[in-house]
Chain A
Amino acid sequence: SQQGEEDPQALSIQEGENATMNCSYKTSINNLQWYRQNSGRGLVHLILIRSNEREKHSGRLRVTLDTSKKSSSLLITASRAADTASYFCATDFNDYKLSFGAGTTVTVRA
Chain B
Amino acid sequence: EPEVTQTPSHQVTQMGQEVILRCVPISNHLYFYWYRQILGQKVEFLVSFYNNEISEKSEIFDDQFSVERPDGSNFTLKIRSTKLEDSAMYFCASFRGARSGANVLTFGAGSRLTVL
Contacts and interface: CB of A to CB of B under 8 A. Distances in A.
Contacts, number: 61
Contacts of A101: 42
Most buried by A among B35, B55, B56, B105: B105
Interface in B17-67: 31, 33, 35, 41-45, 48, 50, 55-56
By CB atoms of chain A within 10 A, which of B42, B91, B110 has the most? Answer: B42
Interface string B82-106: 0000000101010000100011111
- Most A C-beta atoms less than 10 A away, residue of B4, B45, B50: B45
Given A41-B110, A42-B91, A97 B102 contact: no
A31 B102 contact: yes
Given A41-B110, A42-B110, A43-B91, A98 B42 contact: no
A40 B44 CA distance: 16
Measured as residues with beta carbon below 8 angstroms from the partner, the interface class of chain B is 20 to 34
B115 interface: no
B109 interface: yes
Given A43-B43, A97-B56, A48 B104 contact: yes
Contact of B102 (A37, A40, A50): A50
Nearest to B45: A97
A100 interface: yes
Interface of A: 3, 30-31, 33, 35, 37, 40-45, 48, 50, 88, 92, 94-103
User: Is chain B's interface secondary structure helix, strand, loop, or mixed overall?
Assistant: strand
Contact of A97 (B33, B107, B108): B33
A92 B103 CA distance: 8
Nearest to B56: A96
Report the 4 A-B pairs with minimum CB-CB distance, sorted nearest first. Answer: A42-B107, A100-B43, A102-B42, A96-B55
Given A44-B107, A102-B41, 4 more contacts: A33-B102, A45-B106, A92-B102, A97-B48
